[in-house]
Amino acid sequence: MSILSQQKAPIMEALNKYKKMRVVPFDVPGHKRGRGNEELTAFLGENAMTVDVNSMKPLDNLIHPVSVIREAEELAAEAFGAKHAFFMVNGTTSAVQAMVMTACKAGEKIIMPRNVHRSAINALILSGAIPVYVNPGVNSELGIPLGMALEDVKRTILEHPDAKAILINNPTYYGICSNLQAITDLAHEHGMLVLVDEAHGTHFYFSDDLPASGMSVGADMASVSMHKSGGSLTQSSILLINNDVSEGYTRQIINLTQTTSGSYLLLSSLDISRKNLALNGSEIFRKVGEMAQYTREEINKIGGYYAFSKELINGDTIFDFDQTKLSVHTLEIGLAGVEVYDILRDEYDIQIEFGDIGNILAYISVGDRRLDLERLVGALSEIKRRYGNDKSGLFDHEYINPQVVYTPQKAFYATKEKLPINESAGRIASEFVMAYPPGIPILAPGERITTEILEYIQYCKDKGSFMTGTEDSKIEHINVLKETEQ
């Protein structure tokens, strides 16, 4: 890594130069550097408003970068060990969709774990690619989906040798990693592209103590959420390509869905954050790992809770674990994770990342302080004392293997009818049902609705999970394929 080049932040430098030029703006945005919207300027600050500008020659253009954005992307590619990096301003959702749509055309197969983020299945609806699901391993004690077993991947590749690509989560929301190197090598032996969803793995690129990153094992594409652990603004992300993936074609695919009005607030945040990680990332994530480990040990001293980590590693479905993730199992204290999540927010003014049926996740970053971590541990101790209960009657698993009947695209666009959700067992879903976060579908278009799935959805609703995906915002009705379509 060239330290001198990584000290540059070309987009930020170009914006600072542009501000000094005192250009009179007869272009968009219409707030004209904040003067036309005083309340917004007072709220966001004059500095932010003066760099919320339009693409122009001195500032380059995101849809076809040739100068400062291109230079910033090249620096990012060097920092992440990729052939090229694309700055994304539609979130990692857009990056995941671009990966799938670059790798697969309509009617072509892609192998993926079923516990993918909804963005991957949305990409199938948009592109018409056909999913071949590998059901992830499941830890029955924690009730969570794991990584893909290597033997399951091998069998699926042999059964579907015409698949164009395989998508891998690295890591899952909970911090669990599959055997990324072995799966990548296996896929490449069979002529398949390897796509890696690294929404929760930005930091893997900047620490030797953390699991392997997509680019380090030779994967072809990776989607990296810089705004999660990388420090950039919400909605900013990076798509990495490697090997023989075409930069020009990938750019064309990105431009099918990404805005032509790229936000310079988001772009400059990617540029500055990349510089910070390239120069300081190793030390940053060493501290984050230490903070997470300290908090994990303190939580486990409380009793009842289980903050899990590398002791789960089994060499296959849990090949590695991201120690920066503070994932905590809560069922033993008699509370669902989402109940602990709500109590922390409503009674202790502590906002964690998510709570699901059996677990909570606190996202720890360099921005956290020891005092805040102590406060979290103290609150969890009090919650156990005040609300701890018998665990009987609690749902004990998070993931249900789906029965896939039709492709997501065919089911989503098929002739459908609306049914009360509690009368839909046996029918084929035409839409998603999911708890958000984490945004992993309980049901996806084309899957058969079962009594077990309906019980799980109702349980999630009863426990206070934020349910999304259906046309009916109350999740009381669901669109299913008309029986004539089945």
pLDDT digits (tens, 9 = 90+) for 356-410: 889 999 999 888 999 999 999 999 999 999 999 888 777 766 677 888 999 999 9
Give the pairing of strands 320-321 and 176-177: antiparallel
Place of tokens 């296996």: 186
Banded pLDDT at 436 (limits 50, 70, 90): confident
pLDDT digits (tens, 9 = 90+) for 92-110: 999 999 999 999 999 999 9
Phi, psi of 287, deg, nearest 5: -65, -40
CB proximity list for 318: less than 8 A, separation 6 or greater: 137, 139, 146, 147, 176, 177, 312
Average pLDDT of the segment spanning 290-317: 97
Q: How far is CA 432 from CA 95, 326, 392, 419, 444, in A?
A: 20, 28, 30, 14, 5
Check residue 3 and give its pLDDT.
59
The helix (H) or strand (E) run that includes residue 218 is none
- Residue 398 pLDDT: 67
* Domains assigned to the chain: 57-261 (3.40.640.10), 281-387 (3.90.1150.10), 408-481 (3.90.100.10)
**Are 226 and 270 contacting, i.e. CB atoms less than 8 angstroms apart?**
yes
3-state SS, residue 78: helix
DSSP string, 161-186: TT--EEEEESS-TTSEE--HHHHHHH
Instruction: Name the band, by pLDDT with cuts 50, 70 and 90, for residue 464.
Output: confident
Q: Helix H segments across 406-468?
A: 408-413, 451-463
Mean pLDDT of 292-302: 98
Burial 259-283 (b: 16+ CB within 10 A, else e): eeebbbbbbbbbbbbbbbbbbebee
Q: What is the four-CA torsion angle of 50, 55, 61, 66, rounded to 10 degrees?
A: -80
Per-residue model confidence (pLDDT) at position 465: 85
Q: What is the pTM of this model?
A: 0.94
Q: What pLDDT score was predicted for residue 466?
A: 87
Structure tokens at 115: 């516990």
Indicate the pLDDT class of residue 438, thresholds 50, 70 and 90. Answer: confident
